[in-house]
A and B are shown apart, each in its own frame.
Chain A
Amino acid sequence: MNIFKQELKMIRNSVITWSVSLLLMLFVFMSIYSSFADSSAILNETLAQMPKELLIAFGLNSVDMSAVLGYYSFIFLFCQICMAVQASNYGFGLVSLEERDMTADFLLAKPVKRSSIMTSKLLAAFSGLTITNLVVWAGSFIFINLFKAGRSYDTNTLVVLLSSIVIFQLFFLTVGILISLFMKKVRNVTPLSMALAFGMYIVSAFGSMLGDVKLENITPFKHFEPGYMISHAAYNMPLVMISISVIVISVVGSYLLYAKRNILSAV
């Protein structure tokens, strides 16, 4: 419990920053929805003239931008990218930051099992991500209802969309931890989390452009593609199972690797 509290304290500011940024983004994008929807005819016409590959890359091929959720799914993709970076940040930094800053010497010399350290840290990072998750839930419902301009939307579909966040975050969190444990030393977390988050996004975007089925199946951006979830009001279950399997493997692998890890000294 003491480690959990300490870990939460350490990510508190970051959780607040990410949550507020996401809230602001939701507000700004949703607030211009009504003017968007009013000129939807022109918008859809413009979109139709754009190259198909570009539309696919941004997930705009299968949605009606004038509908509330069609428009929202576009924002949701941005939320996904942000949350992917945030979750990867916590994942890559979870144990590597203590090693880089040498505080691992302090913590691991205490009478506590490495598995308990990992559990406390995982739970703390997950709690932080859940706070952000809940903020996105609240922000989405509030701003959609505030700015929907009299149009209706299917609440169920929105719930499906938002419920996907948990697994999506866990994917990046756990994969981040696993990769960091394969590395001898992590000097800087941000480039790694950017690479993982944007890398996964690009694979999803370009994968659909190339029509290469195999490649895009590895990325949660594909598993939880907003366009798919909105048009089906359901998940693409076979793909979601890939995400869940990766999470399970990453968690098990992380515990095993951390138990055997050599904590190297400063010199």
Chain B
Amino acid sequence: MSIIEVKQLTKFFGKTKGIENVSFNVEDGEIFGFIGPNGAGKSTTIRLFLGLIHPTSGEAKIFGKDCIQYGPEIRQDIGYLPSEVFYYDHMKVMDLLKYSASFYKKDCTERTCELANIMELDLKRRIDDLSYGNRKKVGIVQGLLHQPKLILLDEPTSGLDPLMQQKFFNLIREENKRGATIFFSSHILGEVQKMCNRVAIIKEGSIINVQDIKSLQDENYKKIKVTSDNLDEKKFNLPGVTKLERHNGAVNFFYRGDINVIMRLISAQDVSDVTIEEPTLEEIFLHYYE
């Protein structure tokens, strides 16, 4: 069964387009990545799932039920971590978590303490005294304390230090092993690649592609820069190379294919410097589907 079914989902804010004709499915037990630059419509899609905004047309179903019509019912089993966390400032962390737990039909005390322990969150502090990263932790605990079947993450790692990010990813993987489906929205390709089985790429409100993360990695572009005084860029003109250009004594290009081939070619040259890096998301959007 598909946990999330999205059909021709469209949302306009007045005349401004939020998303248009978005369709995809998320299967039970998947970690599904949702990637796109800022303003592409990632948050809009998640807010439609949660019934925070109403679709202009099309529909989204979660657990086989319409997001708007059965909103309260399906939200019983959804955990949501917003990209920006805002909570009632005057409350203590514990009070907020208790308030959050009071909406669910189960006892969440034990899980709350467990999660707070893992995330090293001090429950006695007031929320307005917390740093951004610590608030984010409150958001994580708040979103997971009722052991939801579907977890919606909207750029969850911003503001967390690398150590905490690692703990958070482990936590999400555990939840996934327990049976939870994860919908992971991000603009950082790396973390999506690390976590997800499948990924949907969204740009300017439309889905460009949905594909396996494995095939995405196979087709992975590398951004290569070779610096050398007298180098003929034509030497690099082989299959898999795009955007080949010479700039300030360096040859820049994108490469997709067997990395050994390009490594041998570079090692045969007399070079002063070489950088091989992951292209930015924008660069992928510019070149991936040429």
Give residues in A with beta carbon < 8 Å to B: 2, 6, 10, 101-106, 108-113, 260, 262-267
Contacts and interface: CB of A to CB of B under 8 A. Distances in A.
Interface string B70-89: 01111110101010101111
A111 B47 contact: no
A110 B43 contact: no
A186 to B, nearest CB: 16
Nearest to A262: B53
A8 to B, nearest CB: 13
Interface residues of B, number: 32
Given A6-B99, A110-B75, A111-B76, A266 B53 contact: no
Contacts of B75: 109-112
Contacts, number: 70
Nearest to B101: A2
Contacts of B102: 2
Contacts of B276: none
11 contacts: A2-B99, A2-B103, A10-B90, A101-B89, A105-B86, A106-B100, A110-B103, A112-B72, A260-B54, A266-B84, A267-B39
Given A106-B100, A111-B75, A263 B52 contact: yes
B103 A112 contact: yes
A12 B269 CA distance: 76
A263 B82 contact: no
Contacts of B44: 265
B288 interface: no
A103 B78 CA distance: 17
A112 to B, nearest CB: 6
Given A6-B99, A105-B52, A265-B47, A111 B72 contact: yes
B84 A102 contact: yes
B50 interface: yes
A102 B88 CA distance: 9
B45 to A, nearest CB: 12
A103 B100 CA distance: 12
Contacts of B103: 2, 110-112
B51 interface: yes
Nearest to A113: B72
A106 B84 contact: no
Contacts of A112: 72, 75, 103
Nearest to B89: A101
A102 B50 contact: no
Contact of A10 (B51, B52, B88): B88
B90 to A, nearest CB: 8
Contacts of A265: 43-44, 47, 52, 84
A256 to B, nearest CB: 13
A160 to B, nearest CB: 40
B50 A262 contact: no
A111 B86 contact: no
B51 A108 contact: yes
Contact of A108 (B13, B39, B50, B76): B50
Contacts of B54: 260, 262
